Structure 1
Amino acid sequence: MHDLFKQVLNERDLSRAGDLFSLSDTEIIHDLTEVIKKITEISSHPDYSQNDNDQSVVEICVTRVTSCIRETGTVEAHCRPLVALLEACLHHNLRPSTNHQNEDPPHAKIASDVISCIFLASDNQNYSKKGVMEAVLPVAVRLLHAGHAELARNMARYLSLAAIHHARLLKPHVQQIVDSIVAGNLAEMQKSG
């Protein structure tokens, strides 16, 4: 792992985190799997949701990692650790706070960035890549029921795009998708009624 990533992640050094953007993609591309695993470890710590410094460090690192993956077109090489990070997020509360409707929980922010990185790229669309979709769909459809309306809406859009290219991959998840649609429509009817 690049020394700067080591310092930022191991020491949770927020003061140096912004410097990650001064590194070229070629300097860090081979470290991303290890970096994603470390991000997963930090974000899975029991006190992560209350630790503003760790959250800021992780947010910056996730942004740097996902931008590198997009710019280098290497989602296929880094898909498995990204999916593991996404799955780790599902073990935490993703529902927005009732006190702060516009404030996403930290794991919802990570999940949103990871999903966007996995499904979309700067020069092509990853949802057309069968290997990527095979890895992510079993975890991604679970976001439909995670209690976060915006994540569910985005996920529904991404799933519809994936269905255009790989409808058969969605076949095992049809019931989860239909349940989500029914639950979403029921919630909307209750709001308007």
Structure 2
Amino acid sequence: MIRSVLTVVVFACSAAFAGSSQAQPVASLGGEPASFFGSLFSGPSSPTARRLVVWSGAQRPGTIVISTSQRRLYYVLGNGQAIQYGIGVGRPGFTWAGTKTVSMKREWPAWTPPAAMLRRRPDLPRYMPGGLDNPLGARALYLGSSMYRIHGSNEPQTIGYAVSSGCIRMTNADVIDLYGRTRLGTKVVVLR
């Protein structure tokens, strides 16, 4: 389905990424220590590396489009361009599709596992304050009144895999970049 909606081709160079085809860190990373981000940026050869791509979809600039089958998130820039990020998605039985809006944004969010997750995993804590050990990572974008979020991860090795309970995982560096671009009310389209 997504192949008929968009065509993605990687640009070799882009002014948005300082003339480099490699994903570049954002100048302002919210004051977190540089050592925190050193191991979290995707390498230039990584299939999950952030990059500027050609976008042929009809979505308006500022829209987030998620392809769970491709394990990619696209932030539509306009003028035929989007930023592509690698993501982790819901494991089998936890995938979903639909349209939501960003209803809340949090830096270093606290985590309270939903009741359904606690029934599956009674070993989980009932509450975890924000921080480096928190599974929601550095930032979270809450999707409408659902229990789903686009969030960072303290397990960057899971990006590119189907491992979550339906939330969309990103590296902390990538979620900080997306968080800075995203406004409350942003449309999020999730495709399988």
Which bracket does the TM-score occupy, shorter chain normalised?
under 0.3
User: What's the TM-score, normalizing by structure 1?
Assistant: 0.22
Based on CA coordinates, which of the two structures has the bigger radius of gyration?
1
1 or 2, which has the higher strand percentage? 2
1 or 2, which has the higher helix percentage? 1
